[in-house]
């Protein structure tokens, strides 16, 4: 199988290569794709040196599947060209997520909706993925009316430049700024640009993508997204209102039996999910701090943590490719 990784030299692209190896995805030929300045360079993957190629060269090689992580503009310009040669594109940007003709997929939730006609499949926003992994089984149980979420998002969600900025600040070394403000010893309550309604694009992604993935436009979502000086994963404080009174015991049981979710909820022993301690380099979504909201009925609070580069991006994309294999849409 020919597998192209578009944006292979970036943070998420590099993680995709790592996940492909770890999950033993059946790659016969790897096609690493990057910007023109990286074309001709070599990357080592599975102990073999592979040459980085251009977009056009990759298309001419006719990959079976392409994992895109090179930004929305690149996806809009090139994804359909890959699809035209029979390649299935799994795109990690926001370019196609809200396109009514494209599937927005978290494999554990709606992976079985993929068909042979889906040539461009959207990978959801990292903060949305980890939240809906917890919301969906609870929605099936009690039907969710409203979600209020505040995120605490790792600098790795911005990229290498943001990690470098934080580390430079921590070391007291001047350097380029990925953010408008310092991030070390600070919080920035802005992720992506502001829209006319006062919410950022990141916050609106969580609102709109949650409804699409869950298949229910009646779910009301309010989001506040915050960048924090953390490496290892995103964290979320989530308040969930249901149509009927929930049972914490039943919720813990259902979540404990949900594929890809791990309940870590033992506050008496100071056990709760943390990004750098539990989520980092894990493909699981961790949930804890489960408790009733005493301010209104039929409502709970919880804390959700996951590695944004893995389940929030690279792993989810590879899992979509695995679903394509399992459904016979891709042939190994």
Output the six-digit token pair for 232: 């290892």
Q: Can you tell me the mean pLDDT for 85-100?
A: 97
How far apart are alpha carbons 97 and 143 in whole angstroms? 24
CB count within 10 Å of CB 220 equals 14
Per-residue confidence at 331, pLDDT binned at 50, 70, 90? Answer: confident
Mean pLDDT score across all residues of the chain: 97
Predicted pLDDT at 3: 98
Q: Which residues are bridge partners to 264 per DSSP?
A: none
Structural domain boundaries of the chain? Answer: 2-123+313-326, 127-308
pLDDT score of 261 more than 90? yes
Task: Among 1.10.1240.10, 3.20.20.370, 3.40.50.720, 3.40.50.1980, name the CATH number for the domain at 2-123+313-326.
Answer: 3.40.50.720
How far apart are alpha carbons 151 and 134 in whole angstroms? 15
- What's the start-to-end Cα distance of the chain, in Å? 6
pLDDT, tens only, 266-287 = 999 999 999 999 999 999 999 9
Catalytic residue among 87, 139, 234, 302: 234
Active site residue 139: no
Q: Can you tell me the mean pLDDT for 43-68?
A: 97
Active site residue 234: yes
Task: Among 3.30.420.40, 3.30.360.10, 3.30.720.200, 3.30.540.10, name the CATH number for the domain at 127-308.
Answer: 3.30.360.10
Helices 11-22, 315-326: inter-axial angle, 10-degree rounding: 40
Predicted pLDDT at 295: 98
pLDDT score of 332 more than 90? no
Question: Which residue, 139, 126, 132, is CA-closest to 213?
Answer: 132
Question: Which residue, 123, 136, 62, is CA-closest to 97?
Answer: 123
Q: Whole-model pTM?
A: 0.96
Predicted pLDDT at 36: 87
Catalytic residue among 87, 126, 139, 280: 126
Q: Which residues are bridge partners to 285 per DSSP?
A: 261, 306
């Amino acid at each position: 199988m020919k597998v192209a990784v578009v944006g292979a030299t970036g943070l998420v692209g590099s993680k995709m290569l790592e996940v492909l190896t770890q999950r033993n995805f059946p790659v016969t030929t790897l096609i690493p794709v990057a910007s023109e300045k990286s074309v001709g360079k070599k990357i080592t993957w599975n102990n073999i040196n592979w040459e980085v190629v251009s977009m056009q060269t990759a298309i001419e090689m006719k990959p079976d599947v392409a994992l895109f992580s090179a930004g929305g503009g690149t996806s809009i310009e090139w994804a359909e060209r890959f699809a035209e040669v029979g390649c299935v594109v799994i795109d990690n940007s926001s370019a196609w997520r809200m396109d009514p003709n494209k599937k927005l997929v978290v494999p554990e939730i709606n992976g079985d909706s993929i068909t042979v006609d889906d040539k461009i499949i959207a990978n959801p926003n990292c903060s949305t993925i980890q939240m809906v992994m917890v919301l969906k089984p609870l929605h099936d149980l009690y039907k969710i009316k409203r979600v209020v979420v505040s995120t605490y998002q790792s600098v790795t969600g911005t990229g290498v430049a943001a990690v470098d900025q934080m580390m430079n600040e921590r070391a007291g070394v001047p350097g380029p700024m990925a953010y408008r403000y310092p991030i070390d010893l600070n919080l920035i309550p802005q992720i992506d640009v502001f829209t006319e309604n006062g919410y950022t694009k990141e916050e609106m992604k969580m609102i709109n993508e949650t409804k699409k993935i869950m298949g229910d436009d009646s779910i009301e979502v309010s989001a506040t997204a915050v960048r924090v000086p953390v490496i290892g994963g995103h964290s979320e404080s989530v308040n969930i209102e249901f149509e009927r009174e929930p049972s914490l015991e039943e919720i813990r049981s259902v979540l404990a039996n949900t594929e890809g979710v791990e309940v870590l909820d033992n506050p008496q022993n100071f056990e709760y999910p943390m990004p750098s301690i539990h989520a980092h380099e894990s493909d699981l979504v961790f949930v804890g701090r489960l408790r009733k909201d005493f301010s209104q009925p039929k409502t709970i609070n919880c804390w959700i943590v996951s590695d944004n580069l893995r389940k929030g991006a690279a792993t989810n994309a590879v899992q979509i490719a695995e679903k394509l294999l399992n459904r016979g849409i891709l042939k190994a």
